[in-house]
Structure 1
Amino acid sequence: MAEGLDDTGFEDCQFLTGSPQRFAVLAQLRERPARPTDLCDTVDATRTTIQRILAGCTERQWVVKRDGEYQLTVTGQRVFDQYNTLLSEIDQARTVGPLAAHLGAIAADLPPELLDPECLTTSSEQNPLAAIDRFTDWLHEVNGDVRAISPIVTSVFNDAAVELLETGTHIEFIIDHSVLERSASDFSDALDRGLEHENIDTYVHDTTLDIGLALDRSRVCLAAYDDRNNLRAIAESDATAVYHWAETVFDRYRERSQPLAAVLSVQEKN
């Protein structure tokens, strides 16, 4: 049981959350005092239901009746405001869920700006390519040099890298051993480019990567992948705090990575 919350507290919570009409009544009373007939005009409930809700709220001293009108008490206002905040947080959690569920260890210090639904693009059954399409657009809008981490390799990203290199953009790129193996078997040209092109420095991380991250001169794009390495969501930001966080994350991953040439040399020896 939550600290400081007894059975009565849970019962009161269950009363409030038991139907949307109860919250709707409190919302109307938060605006102004009202009679039951007034509430029937604005809340989708019968008069009998309204009376029961008002009785339950009065019993809990969230509502008082004065001169024939019901109004919120100070505690009733606080209950409504806190519950409204909770509903907003739950709605945001539902929206950001496709990102938050696939972030791995970096979720512990994730900047709150990246949890803003306005920063988010998610894939869905209706639009399964939404995130990858937006990430591709982000790459086409790059300004300045790029630092990136990727747990996957695709022709889409390889083509975007070619375009960047042709404009003189310098790329620092971190992959893992599974990406290296896939590149060697399916994208040998891209692997050769990552090894030989003067404007790209490729590193191989010592463990499997579970996020994608890209930074240009001022922007950050964080990518979340599911267990099958499908891109589920991306979050974008140009906030200074987010950018500093992303630089720290990238540097941390690079410290645990080796240059591609060194990794390939070891493989050849073995």
Structure 2
Amino acid sequence: MQRDQAAHGDVQFLTGSRHRPAVLAALCEEPARPHELCADIDVTRTTIQRILAGFRERRWVVKRDGDYRATVTGRRVYERYAALHEAVTCGRRLGPLTAHLGPEGDDLPVAALERGRLTVSEDGSPLAALSRFTEWLQGVEGEMRAISPVVAQPFNEIGAELLSGGTDIEFIIDSAVLAQSRAQYESDLEFGVDHDRISIYVHETPLSLGVAFDDERCCVVAYDDANNLKAVLEAGSGELYEWTTAVFERHRERSVPLSAVYDRENAGTASGDG
């Protein structure tokens, strides 16, 4: 326990000031003297001397012939710090997306998260993600596959335009979306049911995220508990595209065609009449 506490104290020392990692990073690059570090990092000589004393106490740095040099352990400490800093930076950037993906997004590749284009709805731009996703849908080329945990009139209208333009669509919804579509968008639903270019599937359990992809692009769409669109992550070919296609195929396996849902309902009604 004492060793763990000492290590925790060392972590606190390194992260207690933004100048300390900067000094350690500089010494990992090349040996330096205090006045050189002062010039590069723009801190007082007293601050540099205190930092160097703390580093020497922890054996992260040694002094030889007037120069301060990072030790092997000092380099390792900085490498791990840099990796943690990068992960935290990524977490802050992607938090608005990942916080609303639910368990279905737990296996989303980190590299895909970092490389994709992210649009977030924030206080200053509450409709940014919605606008971007609308633009993405309007730019669909070739076939489109999508999962959606929500239904909205603007998306229905874009879907109708795509179908009229010759786009083939496979679309997965859940029972709640189906019920809302029947209650509020019955004509749109019937248009989709009757159209030969769209296949609609109903997922066996509630959906918690949206995905969409065409022949060359993909996106992941996150909604909050009130079904407000909070973030969109998009990319071309690569890990994110492979992930979205795998998620779609996995969900389609757990879904039934909408026509089968209607057949079951009709069979139940007929049985009740008898």
Taking structure 1 as the reference length, what is the TM-score of the superposition? 0.90
Shift, 1:90, TM fit:
1.0
Shift, 1:30, TM fit:
2.6
Quote the RMSD (CA, aligned, Å).
2.2
- Equivalence map 1:1-270=2 (5 Å): 6-267=4-265, 269=269
Equivalent position SS for 1:6: helix
Is this contact kept in 2: 1:96–1:117, CA < 8 A?
Answer: no
The 3 A distance-change label for structure 1 pair 127 and 241 is same
Of stretches 103-112 and 133-142 in structure 1, the one that deviates more from structure 2 is 103-112
Shift, 1:55, TM fit:
0.4
* 1:198 counterpart letter in structure 2: D
Shift, 1:242, TM fit:
3.8
The 2-side partners of 1:45 and 1:241 are apart by 43
The 2-side partners of 1:192 and 1:206 are apart by 21
* 2:219 counterpart letter in structure 1: C
Shift, 1:80, TM fit:
1.4
Aligned length: 268
* 1:153 counterpart letter in structure 2: V
Q: Residue deviations 1:30-75, cap 9 Å, x none?
A: 3333222232233353332221111000111111122323222222
Is this contact kept in 2: 1:174–1:254, CA < 8 A?
Answer: yes
Shift, 1:167, TM fit:
0.8
Instruction: State the identity as a percent.
Output: 51
Is this contact kept in 1: 2:112–2:239, CA < 8 A?
Answer: no
Q: Residue deviations 1:95-122, cap 9 Å, x none?
A: 1112222222323332334311543222
Equivalent position SS for 1:210: coil
Q: Runs ≥4 in structure 1, deviation > 6 angstroms?
A: none
Q: Residue deviations 1:230-266, cap 9 Å, x none?
A: 1121222233444343333212212222222332454
The 1-side partners of 2:147 and 2:61 are apart by 55
Listed as ranges, the gaps of 5+ residues in structure 2 are none
The 2-side partners of 1:213 and 1:56 are apart by 50
Equivalent position SS for 2:124: coil
Taking structure 2 as the reference length, what is the TM-score of the superposition? 0.89
Q: Residue deviations 1:160-218, cap 9 Å, x none?
A: 10110111111111111221222222222211112111211112222211010112123
Is this contact kept in 2: 1:121–1:235, CA < 8 A?
Answer: yes
